[in-house]
Structure 1
Amino acid sequence: MEFRQLEYFLGVASELHFSKASEKLFIAQPALSRQIQQLEQNLGVLLFERDKRNVKLTPAGEYLCVEASRLLSQLNNIKQRTQLIHSGEEGDIRIGHPGSAIYSVIPPLLSSLKLHFPNIKANLSEVLDNYILTALKNHEIDVGFIREIYPDKYLNAKVLYKESFALVLPESHSINDDNFESLAQVKHENFILPPQSSSSTYYDMLLSICWRENFIPNIVHESNYGATILRLVEHNLGISLMPISYKFGSAMRVKFIELKKIPEKTQLSIVWRNDDNNPVLQKFLQITELFDFQNANYRS
């Protein structure tokens, strides 16, 4: 039994007329009749009751009509999905990201991905900055967002945007945008910062911001996770310095004072393996080209 014979059989079953079916199937009527006869011989059943005026499906023919329709529909779906997977328009992309990215770039990127390639599924993992590169090399993720970039011959990287730091305070704190002048105002406060082991360059940048105001922060709690730091600040357990992007997704009772005048900026880059030939990755990278990260607007 061949798929072509099933297609011919369904054509006749739809029309219940060999002449009309042959026209729609672009096959001569005698050839069509031979194909149906061969199918009946292979199956050892009669599929049509024929006389000079009528063609009617037998019970076996009615059963085969239902099952063959389902089978050919599945085959067509397999063909389409195979083509989509080959072109990168269907499949999975595993994304590793710091906590701040979920407050900034991740939601609009995934919205754009869904708009342009609705059959691509993103699997998200919040990964510590110092483990992103390891996760890539171990093929645990396909692409990563990272604050620090180290030269690596096995990886490609591109800076997406730079952003300011912000002083993060409990909602009830006396300092606000109107009376804030410099970090010297909080030099005696308790700080909640990431541990140095998580990202030495990032950690050193935070310290240099404080050193410029002639103080060393009194760090009372450490956490690698932005959401944890925000929750601790909310409960008056200390204050923090964080990328301003956390402001746009936080519903906690904290306030952000953007440090626009300081020279230190934190950047977010995208990084991926340079030998990765996964076509889904290429589609994802195309989406990153559609987005103006610095101004948070789509390019036309």
Structure 2
Amino acid sequence: MDFRQLSYFLGVASELHFSKASEKLFIAQPALSRQVQQLENKLGVLLFERDKRNVKLTPAGEYLNNEAQKILSQLDNIKHRTQLIHNGEEGEIRIGHPGSAIYSVIPPLLSALKLFFPSIKANLSEMLDSSVMDALKNYEIDVGFIRELHPDKYLTSKIIFREPFALILPACHPINEDNFKSLAQVKNDNFILPPNNSSSVYHDLLLRLCEREGFLPNVVHESNYGATILKLVEHNLGISLMPISYKHSSAMKVKFIELKNISEQTNLSIMWRKDDTNPVLQNFLKIADSLSFSDSLPIK
């Protein structure tokens, strides 16, 4: 079916007057009549009942009028959505992130994304740093948040968030913010830390915090996941060192003591593929670049 002929038919069906319809459609009346007649011949039906005074839709014409309006409306919607997708205003962004990012950068990022691009859907996957890089290179995610950076010729990154560490203690622990002086006070405690093979630079940084106070932590449990570590600390199975953003994670019965007198902090970087031209990703990166995250020391 010729969509031009269909639009001409709809013009006449709307006016029920060939002369008026020809003026609105910017086509000569004889040409308009010819186009409608050709459509009738193709369909093998009569669409209009005509006489010198009146034009009236036949039952077949009424049906085609209703259905054709739906089709053209759908085509307009397809055109609009195609333009949105081309401009990166509609689609999906797949995000890989460590657990701590959900308590710092991700909520304000997704709030801004919803405000400026409400038709973009975010798909979140919590994963380890090493898994983030693999997922990016395997095209399983579009963007990742990562604490430990490793140079890679296919990926690019930018630090967007910096935060201090905190000493995490069970609620029953005798040390609190008022009597805390240094990590040397907990040198005899059992620790719960990430395993060395999960993120060596990050792990070494945590060890360095303790070494500076003259001890190596006695690690009795290891976990890659912050929520697991917090739960173990809550049950008095050890203490830990974690990014301060985990303070916003839950109502667990643990104490967070910010390590204010040390220079070491933990960075969170955003990472993506260098060759990725997905316009949705480009809009997401622009939003990330424009934000200053609260409760942090943002990198500008």
TM-score, length of structure 2 as denominator length: 0.95
Question: Which residue identity lines up with residue 41 of structure 1 in the other structure?
Answer: N
SS at 1:198 equivalent: coil
Cα RMSD of the aligned pairs, angstroms, is 1.6
Say if 1:162 and 1:294, in contact at 8 Å, map to a contact too.
no
> Distance between the aligned counterparts of 1:161 and 1:23, measured in 2?
62
Alignment of 1:128-143 (within 5 A): 128-143=128-143
Alignment of 1:1-300 (within 5 A): 1-293=1-293
CA change 1:276–1:5 in 2 (3 A) is same
CA change 1:297–1:152 in 2 (3 A) is closer
> Distance between the aligned counterparts of 1:219 and 1:148, measured in 2?
21
SS at 2:197 equivalent: helix
Question: Which residue identity lines up with residue 220 of structure 1 in the other structure?
Answer: V
Question: Which residue identity lines up with residue 34 of structure 2 in the other structure?
Answer: R
> Aligned pair count?
298
SS at 1:292 equivalent: coil
> Distance between the aligned counterparts of 1:115 and 1:297, measured in 2?
24
> Distance between the aligned counterparts of 1:151 and 1:26, measured in 2?
62
> Distance between the aligned counterparts of 2:297 and 2:113, measured in 1?
15
User: Following TM superposition, by how much is the alpha carbon of 1:115 offset from its aligned partner in structure 2, in angstroms?
Assistant: 0.9
Say if 1:104 and 1:249, in contact at 8 Å, map to a contact too.
no
Please list every run of 5 or more consecutive structure 1 residues that lacks an aligned counterpart in the other structure. none
Question: Which residue identity lines up with residue 261 of structure 2 in the other structure?
Answer: K
CA change 1:296–1:55 in 2 (3 A) is farther
User: Following TM superposition, by how much is the alpha carbon of 1:293 offset from its aligned partner in structure 2, in angstroms?
Assistant: 3.1
User: Following TM superposition, by how much is the alpha carbon of 1:295 offset from its aligned partner in structure 2, in angstroms?
Assistant: 5.8
Say if 2:161 and 2:296, in contact at 8 Å, map to a contact too.
no
Question: Which residue identity lines up with residue 180 of structure 2 in the other structure?
Answer: F
SS at 2:40 equivalent: helix
TM-score, length of structure 1 as denominator length: 0.95
Q: CA offsets, 1:157-216, max 9 Å, x none?
A: 111121100011122322211111111111111111111111000000001111111111
> Distance between the aligned counterparts of 1:157 and 1:225, measured in 2?
23
Please list every run of 5 or more consecutive structure 2 residues that lacks an aligned counterpart in the other structure. none
> Distance between the aligned counterparts of 1:220 and 1:159, measured in 2?
32
Q: CA offsets, 1:212-240, max 9 Å, x none?
A: 11111111111111111111112222111
Question: Which residue identity lines up with residue 178 of structure 1 in the other structure?
Answer: D
Question: Which residue identity lines up with residue 233 of structure 2 in the other structure?
Answer: V
> Distance between the aligned counterparts of 1:253 and 1:37, measured in 2?
80
SS at 1:164 equivalent: strand
Question: Which residue identity lines up with residue 213 of structure 2 in the other structure?
Answer: E
Say if 1:98 and 1:126, in contact at 8 Å, map to a contact too.
yes
SS at 1:67 equivalent: helix
Say if 1:161 and 1:294, in contact at 8 Å, map to a contact too.
no
Say if 1:244 and 1:258, in contact at 8 Å, map to a contact too.
yes
SS at 2:286 equivalent: helix
> Distance between the aligned counterparts of 1:171 and 1:28, measured in 2?
85
